Structure 1
Amino acid sequence: MTNHQTMLKIFILEDNADFLNFLESTLRNYIMIEALHAEIKFTTQSATDLLDAVDLEEINDCLFLLDIDIPGSSVSGIDIATILRKKSLYADIMFITSHTEEALSILAHKIAPLDLIDKSA
């Protein structure tokens, strides 16, 4: 009997380079310590780079950590989440923001994220 476990692929979009490095480092350590079957596939400060890096046909086993507001970008984390959700009801999406008042916008788009991480706390 073969024990096949699917690898969770993690994608991170965060506009603040320091916070992006913190998230990536923290997740890598957690994955290693807990021996999780997961890997960080892609981290970026660019919404368009994230969209280019993701195979939208294979996102069911993915976790997306998305900053809501990306200054200087015409594409927000909510826009990306909307695209992801249209392709898969099973992709896991979490938002990262220092603007928790934007949570209502998430509800309006019917994205159904797992959580909202307040990075200002």
Structure 2
Amino acid sequence: MLKVIIVEDQIDIREKLVTKITNYLIFEEIDAQVVLATDKPEEVISYVEVNPKDKYLFLLDIELIKDEYSGIELAEVLRRKLPFEVIVFLTSHSELSLIVLEHRISPLDYIVKSGDFESIMNSVRQDINRTMELLGVEDVVNKNYFTYVKRGRHYRILIEDIYYFEAVKDDSHLVMLHAKGRQVSLRENLIGLEERLADKGFYRCHKGYLANLSNIVTFSKRERLIYYDEEKTLVCPVAARKLRSVADRL
């Protein structure tokens, strides 16, 4: 999971950022969370010292002046402790970016706090998605999750919530994911998914289907069908030549 930490001394901006970012992460089902929002640099330093191996995105106010730390000084401390984590600066003065260059902090972005708040959030959303890519989604998420990209954004779903993948006719690069509470079209193919999920309980039971055998409620050899619920509404077909191998795996 990506941990987002916000350091901003204007409480109204800080609270808006927390609310908007949290809503965005929930709505887009991104594996990230705002874990700290503060105007106290020492709280941030204490947090990362206790959790040094986590993945972070820091949103730091450049103009912050608090105790013995400025925003830039806090960034320097964080860069020494966590050289590969992502820092984004919030600033009311774009010219301050030149000062940051002198300190070799290498932030991902500078977001100017001017204009309407939605323009700030547009930049924040882009930076969250870029951070997920930079840190590597496979490292960020738990191995019990299946991750996928949809319209440039990263999502995850518990593997145990997946029923099966279905190849879409007339499009060899499109697959439907059937799972608890969702159906999603993915730019994937069954061969790649079969290799990716080989050790997760999935089996190619049919030319056009990759089934999660761990979720089966009923398997009917006579009907050549896998059922994923008692009502027999969630159904995955099985090819005749695959009947024995499916039965052997259950």
Q: TM-score category by the smaller chain?
A: 0.7 to 0.9
Match runs of 1:1-121 below 5 Å: 7-55=1-49, 58=52, 61-121=55-115
Shift of 1:57: 6.2
Write the deviation string for residues 26-70 of structure 1: whole angstroms up to 9, x where unpaired.
100110011000011111012222222222762561000000112
Aligned 8 A contact 1:13 1:47 in 2:
yes
SS of equivalent to 1:54: helix
The normalised TM-score by structure 1 is: 0.86
Aligned to 1:4: none
With the length of structure 2 as denominator, give the TM-score of the two structures.
0.43
Q: Which structure has the bigger radius of gyration?
A: 2
- Give RMSD over aligned pairs: 1.7
Q: Shift of the alpha carbon at 1:22? A: 0.7
| 1: CA distance, partners of 2:86 / 2:53 | 9
Residues 109, 57 of structure 1: alpha-carbon distance in 2 compared, 3 angstrom cutoff: farther
| Counterpart-to-counterpart distance in 1, 2:56 and 2:44 | 13
Q: Which runs of 5+ in 1 are unaligned?
A: 1-6
Q: How many residues align?
A: 115
User: Where does structure 1 differ by over 4 angstroms across 4 or more consecutive aligned residues?
Assistant: none
Name structure 2 gaps, 5 residues minimum.
Answer: 116-250
Counterpart contact for 1:13–1:67, Cα < 8 Å: yes
% identity of equivalent residues: 37
Whichever structure has more strand as a proportion of its residues is 2
Flag the structure with more relative contact order, 1 or 2, with Cα contacts below 8 A and sequence separation at least 6: 1
